[in-house]
Amino acid sequence: MMGLSDGYTLANGVKIPCVGLGTWKGDWNQPDNGVVSHAVQAAIEAGFRHIDTAASYRTEEGVGRGIRESGIPRSEVFVTTKLWNDVRGYQPTIDAFHKSMKSLGLDYLDLYLIHWPNPVAFRDHWQENNAETWRAFEDLYKAGDIRAIGVSNFRPHHLAELARTATVSPMVNQLPVSPGCILSETIKYSRAHNMAIEGYSPFGTGSALKLPEVEGLSKKYGRTAAQICLRWSIQMGVIPLPKSITPSRILENTGVFDFELSAEDVDILTNLHDGADTPVEPDTSNF
């Protein structure tokens, strides 16, 4: 990867940029105060062409406004949003999608994800509910409303269950990926089934930046800890989604294409087993 506009080709031929701006908690309590829209504009000015949001983040409106106010053509920005845990089933999913599109103010979506495989509200029948939800995803995709569809936080058994009834396979699995937090078996399974891997919380919600190994490599390469984490993700073939609302940090996160970690240093960060975030287990979470 040579820059932010480079990327991967999904299983259906759609291009996805190699780094995206995350917007989780970017505007959590005040969705209309302009924080997210300004961050999106700063990201686009810095070269980002990939923005990630979700219904549960309450940032869809700010993301859409930021894209419009940036002045660049809609076709140049890859936009993702996600279906939250309070919605499952065919028609509720269709309705939730249109609600998100209204919030975003967009005519089409680049990527739509099921945010969570086994919400507590649907835990007794998650398989059937996911199947009906995915059927709605497939129909929206076939109608041209969405360019690509996928999942988030799905482990191999969730993916295998979804495959029993799916006619279109997920093109993306979005997972927590940072030094000290990597779901190796899930990534291996997902890639074997032609899914690209997006990595949310690439800094481990801050904990990875303080790891001695990351700090050591920061000094070795003369780069910030954040840049080390992002460069590691890129070399792992993962699409990182760093979140920031600070223009200077957004710009800092673009400085990851003019250096390369050695294979040995990539292995050091890949094989860390503690010190960073522990992934939430989808089948036992309380949300």
What is the per-residue pLDDT across 60-117, written as a single tens digit (0 to 9) for each? Answer: 999 999 999 999 999 999 999 999 999 999 999 999 999 999 999 999 999 999 999 9
Q: Quick one: pLDDT at residue 33?
A: 67
Q: How far apart are CA 203 and CA 246, in angstroms?
A: 15
| Residue 115 assigned ligand-binding role | yes
Q: pTM of the prediction?
A: 0.96
Q: Quick one: pLDDT at residue 6?
A: 94
Q: How far apart are CA 227 and CA 207, in angstroms?
A: 14
Residue 76 CB neighbour total at 10 angstroms: 12
Q: Is 57 one of the catalytic residues?
A: yes
Catalytic residue among 8, 57, 189, 200: 57
Q: Quick one: pLDDT at residue 1?
A: 79
Q: Quick one: pLDDT at residue 276?
A: 64
Detail the DSSP E strand segments found in the chain: 7-9, 15-17, 21-22, 50-52, 78-83, 109-114, 146-152, 172-176, 196-200, 239-241
> Per-10-residue mean pLDDT for the chain, 287 residues long?
92 98 72 83 98 95 96 97 98 98 98 98 96 98 98 98 98 96 96 98 93 97 98 98 96 98 97 78 93
How buried is residue 239: exposed, middle or buried, by Cβ count under 10 Å (0-12/13-18/19+)? buried
Q: How far apart are CA 22 and CA 4, in angstroms?
A: 14
Token pair listed for 178: 């940072």
